[in-house]
Homo-oligomer: A and B are copies of this chain.
């Protein structure tokens, strides 16, 4: 039976990425060797890394604007500490917007390095919205925000205009919507949502903001070192980088971010319309801040859960249970999830209504 994978991440990727990457494990570029056994310094893999870095910048519209793209180890969680290490001055401070669990983890890690000002938080309302009207101190070394909050299903629809560097964790919505990415000085994203499988992290950084923290940075945590070594400071995660390249190529062939944004809007509209229409359900996040990537919703009457769970499982849906912090359901609709899968879920929600 066809599966409809709503997993929050790692998550569905394009079918052609599965097919091409499985083939590369058996025979990469007709070399007679597996992509798992080739040197990262081989011509074929250097070409993969170079293309992946260039394509990331191209898709974001950041070519020739002073940015470098890196595919690093460690997940977004390693960036939580690399960012203050590289950007927070020794006696300086940083400003953070607290919009969810991951923003909070980034804040905790920054506190190991110095003064960390939380400009606003929606924690008291279980992160069901994005704070507004906050003031970012103009003497902070940088401002950090999280564009999409996977767990709570909220998404920043606008970003402040600042004189200080703006850093954004886009792990769960990068490459999903058009933005003026040149507003940001550092963007990072764990691969395992819209970019590829788990195991690599994209960092896009404006070079001019680096080298100013005055800290004694270990080489492996120093963005300058990674840039100098063209994202090969040490052996990169070869297969995750390759599968990420395949995913970025798929996106480019579709028409890039502008094209996928329309699909993502259609999927989100379809599902949110049903959540709002169907008397059995309610959305978890404040409507104005609803994420187009992760729709969080609840049954108005929890006793309907067993029958709803049975229905969606029978329809081939997986990965729908909500995170324990919110409960209910979470439909993650990343780039590779087809509109058809959302229709299947909406049909199940209607079917539940007809049965109650």
Contacts and interface: CB of A to CB of B under 8 A. Distances in A.
A294 interface: no
A25 B36 contact: no
By secondary structure, the A interface counts as: loop
A328 interface: no
A236 B9 CA distance: 11
Contacts of A199: 73, 199-200, 236-240
A29 interface: no
A74 interface: yes
Interface in A105-144: 105, 108-109, 112
Contacts of A238: 10, 192, 197-199
Interface string A4-46: 0101111111000111011101100000111011111000000
Given A1-B32, A73-B74, A237 B237 contact: yes
A76 interface: yes
Contacts of A74: 73-74, 78, 220
Interface residues of A, number: 62
A32 B77 CA distance: 30
Interface in A40-63: 40
A242 B19 CA distance: 18
A313 to B, nearest CB: 12
A190 interface: yes
A218 interface: yes
Contact of A34 (B13, B73, B218): B13
A18 to B, nearest CB: 5
A18 B26 contact: yes
A235 interface: yes
Contact of A22 (B9, B22, B221, B319): B22
A10 B80 CA distance: 28
Contacts of A200: 199
Nearest to A219: B109
Most B CB within 10 A of own CB, among A13, A197, A221: A197
Given A199-B239, A237-B240, A239-B239, A216 B112 contact: yes
Given A26-B18, A108-B219, A75 B32 contact: no
Interface in A213-252: 216-221, 233-240, 243
Interface of A: 1, 3, 5, 7-13, 17-19, 21-23, 25-26, 32-34, 36-40, 73-78, 80-81, 105, 108-109, 112, 190, 192, 196-200, 216-221, 233-240, 243, 318-319
13 contacts: A12-B37, A13-B34, A13-B36, A21-B36, A22-B22, A33-B318, A36-B197, A73-B75, A73-B199, A112-B218, A192-B238, A198-B237, A198-B238
